Structure 1
Amino acid sequence: MRRHRGARTRVVLACAGVLALALASPAMAASAAPTTPTGLLNGGTACATDAGSPAYVAEGLRGLSIAAVPGDTDPADDNRLSLNYRLWPVSDPALTSTLSRPAVVGAEAGVDVPTDDLADGQTYAWQAQTVVEDDASDWSAPCYVTIDDTHPPTPVVSSSNYPEGQLDQGGEPVRFTFGANGASDVVGFEFGWQQDLPVPASGSDPYHDDPANFVRADGGTATVALVPPAGVGSRTLYVSALDRAGNPSMKAAEYSFMVASTAPTITPATASPEFGEKDVLTLTPDPALEEASPVVGYSVTTVGGRHDGTTTVEAAADGTARLPFTFDGVSGERVEVSSKSADGWVSDTAVWYAWADTTPTVRSADYPENGAGGGAGVPGTFTFEPKVKGVVSYTYSFDWGGTEQTVDAEADGTAAIAWTPPDSGSYAVNVYATTADGIQLATCTYFFDVN
């Protein structure tokens, strides 16, 4: 499947062609003699006036669109203005078809030549004429166009540094060579890392406008150096040949290879950073990647912390970088890092995890965890103890949906509360701590039974 990038915008009125020249009866004299049409186009391609170098268009299967701008500048002539077209095969000029349609001053007005009048591989000549009532201009110089509805074969694709179907060390752009596979009219190639290749806009020069997806052929071949999408594992490039009429290969070539991991290494200054503590992460490039092309920077994404986001870090001359890091993810924190080399290569992602249990410890001699104690109306004491530094308070509630209450922590970070169960049965206390920085830590659920 191929997706369209867009089409050339132009004013084209509905075709009103007939197969015989139609000239209207005069109603009034024309204000000025009409002149020869300009802006001649066939299939969105500029008119070729050299019979030895016709324009090639792939229009025969659905008709050939030809168009011109009438040679008239008087808006008053709009209701009397038309364009005549005549077309014939160069090999047999006697087989002439003539079409006519209304026109508007200054606007391109086209007609569609019926498919029955066209043959694949045949060269045609056509002309346009401006008509204002019974007054007609000279015919334009002939335009020459060859119908080409034959698709080129699937191209041949090879790589000098990433053998097909093999695993190779990443880091160096892939050098591809595209071949026309014996076709003599291939003028370029289209390529991409996704199977849906784009369709160039009508009348555009994709080799100039979109060099990331198109390359001109030189003698039927072309070479490109491409950086594959970031990641590790299999990669496939899709390549289609394009002939001079713009026909793509019926089937694109597929070239697959595998890329080994080029992920950097992430090393914390402290083997197991404590929650809330500042640390430094050292980012080190993959050695083979660094040798292929120096790493110039890193993309760093943090997930699970208080200040999640993505940032870029510039690499030092040796390819390494040092990243200040504060572990503040209450349920753990993940750091994802990929490197970028001077040649544009983006590595696959290295992942480093920091984890600490930030739930408070709950103790009660009166109502032991997962045990039974006390009784209805019998008060009990519950003590909360921190597992991380800087705790200033605890927020708790008994059973789910109960009213939350907050108690300040002592200097050592602990707090104690008294609670009296109204009835016997199973209960739970939910409690979380808050630090001096305002961080709400993970919740602990403490289960117990009341006798």
Structure 2
Amino acid sequence: MSFGARTRAVLAILGTLGLSLAAAAAPASAAGGTPTTPTQLFNGYRNCSTDADRPTFLWGSNNVVVEGIPGTTDPTDQSQVSVRYEAWPVTDPSQTSTVTRDRATPGFEATGVLPGDTLVDGQTYAWRAQTVAGGAASGWSVPCYITIDDTGPASAPAVSSPNYPPNRWNQGGDPVTFTLNANGADDVAGFQYAWTQPLQSIVLADFGDHGVPQPRDPYADPGHFTRTDAPGGSATISLIPPSTGGTLSVRSLDRALNPSETTAYRFLVSTTAPTVTPADPSPEFGDTTTFTLRPDAALQAKSPVVSYSVHTFGGPDGDRTFDVAAAADGTATTELTLDGLTGEHVSVTSKSANGWVSDPASWDIDYDTTPTVVSDVYPENGSGGGAGVPGTFTFTPKVKGIVSYTYSFDTEPEVTVAAGADGTASIEWTPDSAGSYGLQVYATTRSGIQLIPYAYTFTVDRQFDHSN
């Protein structure tokens, strides 16, 4: 259940659970055993606190969900029971309200709702639960204590960094140290932050067997949350930023996880990209070439580069990514076969020992892998020949290693012909009628790669008798 979805969830509960406010519980079907006190108590999908001095702080504007598992002394009897919830302000126990959940199943969480319009912001309440069945009732559970907090922190947090000043270029390589301050809001218990905006809704709990909530502690995720050193205090965090800098979005959270307005901290990072150098500066299509990867010198001085991530685009088997370990000096080598259908496009990032990931370096080369097509009778984009007049079409490769060509005229079936030792091939074709025609042809390499097809268009002339 996410914080942002709580309103919808409560409305759904109210609509489906058949809850009512009453002075006493409506009798349920008679159960086979004696009712037992509910267990597994939760409020707002968070753990029940039985310590009056340490209540659970909850947002109450849209109601507070309370729940527990009812039972009887006969574990085999699944007759439905009722669960009665009592709630009162700790400052005035005489002001007790009762909520009843009818038709509850023993052994499963039974949910009740404390209406938000009866809960006062800043007030602490106690609540307890009992099981009712066949006119009998269990003992009450121990009280759970909650404090209603419907007011978020009054000010957005202050954000600063000693090693990456805002709105200027900074040398990358070190994690960014941020100091987050409550900025005068004395109810701040922690902060939420991320490199993206808007910040994500906070997940309060997962749900296990029998509907039992499994509360999540957002502060268990140090990549996005941290506690203050004291209520209304500050916190220091260390984060690896996006490679070229970015914007850290931060908001304060009070004990009920109400958020403040968001503060955006913007900074820039100078490039830390590695260099990518092929052994052959102009390799041909199909060549296998060794590439040397070298770290940015300033980055290497801060924290040694330990590996590279290499991403290649446009190969016959699609894009691929692989890692290469770096030597002690931060350099590495890798072999690449240049078989991209339209060229080879390589992107490389380095990773340092401290977790820093550089911005990418790129190396590119373009190839035209379409064949050249020439005809003695039917020139490209021209006209010639005639119906019944044969013409020869010669296919010549632009890259090496070609073993065959596959072609078709208009909607005719494809035909494959072998290439000669020099990679060329010639075919003869005779049109049945005059008009416009299209020829599609692609080459296949020795390794079985089908290259980019070439479209060749021409016109077959009409034949006229000029003898008279």
Q: What TM-score results when the alignment is normalised by the length of structure 2?
A: 0.78
- What's the counterpart of residue 57 of structure 2? 56
Match of 1:358 in 2: 369
RMSD: 3.9
Q: Which structure 2 residues correspond to residues 329-340 of structure 1 after superposition, within 5 A?
A: 329-340=340-351
2:330 matched residue in structure 1:
319
1:51 is displaced (CA, Å) by 3.4
User: In 2, distance between residues paired with 1:168 and 1:111?
Assistant: 54
Residues 55 and 115 (structure 1), Cα distance of their counterparts in 2 relative to 1, 3 Å cut: same
Who is 2:466 aligned against? none
CA deviation profile, 1:230-270 (whole Å, cap 9, x unmatched): x43x5222222121222222x22222222333222211111
CA distance in 1, matches of 2:373, 2:294: 42
In structure 2, do the counterparts of structure 1 residues 260 and 22 end up closer, same or farther at CA, with 3 Å as the change threshold? Answer: same
Moved more, 267-276 or 381-390: 381-390
Deviation at 1:120, TM superposition (A): 0.8
Q: SS of the residue aligned with 2:300?
A: helix
Corresponding residue of 1:186: 188
Q: Any conservation in 2 of the 1:15–1:110 contact (CA below 8 Å)? A: no
- State the secondary structure of the residue aligned to 2:215: coil
Q: Is the 8 A contact 2:441 2:455 kept in 1?
A: yes
Distance 2:70 2:378 in 1: 98
| 2:201 corresponds to 1:198 | yes
Check the 8 A contact 2:202/2:218 in 1, yes or no.
no
Query: 1:71 Cα shift?
Result: 7.0
Instruction: Compute the displacement of 1:151 (Å).
Output: 0.6
**CA 1:206–1:90 in 2, change beyond 3 Å: closer, same or farther?**
closer
Report deviation, 1:307: 4.1
- Give 1:53 deviation, angstroms: 3.1
* CA-CA distance at 1:133 after TM superposition: 5.4
Please name the residue that 1:145 is paired with. 146
Partner of 1:165: 167
Change (3 A) 1:84 1:311: closer
Alignment partner, residue 228 of structure 1: 241
Give the one of 277, 290, 308 matched to 2:287. Answer: 277
Q: Please give the secondary structure, in 2, of the residue aligned with 1:288.
A: helix
More deviation, 209-218/408-417: 408-417
Is contact 1:56–1:147 with CA below 8 Å preserved after alignment? yes
Equivalences for residues 16-165 of structure 1 within 5 A: 16-21=19-24, 37-59=38-60, 61-70=61-70, 72-74=72-74, 82-102=82-102, 104-131=105-132, 136=137, 139-152=140-153, 153-165=155-167
Offset of residue 413 of structure 1: 3.6
Shift of 1:107: 4.3
Distance 1:160 1:405, change over 3 A: same
Residue pair 1:189, 1:240 contacting (<8 A) in 2 also = yes
Give CA-to-partner distance per residue, 1:167-186, whole Å, 9 cap, x none. 22332221111111212222
Deviation at 1:54, TM superposition (A): 2.9
Cα gap change, 1:324 to 1:3, in 2 (>3 Å): farther
What number of residue pairs does the alignment pair up? 440
Q: CA deviation at 1:332?
A: 1.7
- Structure 2 CA distance for partners of 1:408 and 1:117, relative to 1, 3 Å: closer
Aligned to 1:262: 272
Once residues 70 and 29 of structure 1 are traced to their aligned partners in structure 2, the CA distance between those partners, rounded to angstroms, is 12
Separation in 2, partners of 1:28, 1:360: 86
- Of the structure 1 ranges 295-304 and 35-44, higher mean CA displacement relative to structure 2 is found in 35-44
CA distance in 1, matches of 2:264, 2:391: 73
Q: Is the CA contact 1:167–1:259 (under 8 Å) kept in the aligned structure 2?
A: yes
Contact 2:410 2:437 in 1 (8 A): no
Q: Distance in 2 between matches of 1:2 and 1:38?
A: 25
SS of 2:52's partner is coil
Instruction: Pick the aligned partner of 1:298 from 289, 293, 308.
Output: 308
Q: CA offsets per residue over residues 262-311 of structure 1, 9 Å max, x none? A: 22221111111012222111122222222222222122222222344222
Shift of 1:150: 1.2
Structure 2 unaligned spans of 5+ = 206-213, 462-468
Q: Does 1:14 align with 2:17?
A: yes
TM-score by length of 1: 0.81
CA distance, structure 2, for counterparts of residue 18 and residue 30 of structure 1:
27
SS in structure 2 opposite 1:212? coil
Q: Matches of 1:24 and 1:422 in 2, distance apart?
A: 93
Note the alpha carbon deviations across 1:406-437, whole angstroms, 9 max, x for none.
Answer: 54444344444555666777666554444433
Give per-residue Cα distances to partners, 1:109-136, cap 9 Å, x unaligned: 4432333432111222344445555655
Give the equivalent residue in structure 2 for 1:215.
226
Aligned match of 2:256 in 245, 266, 289?
A: 245
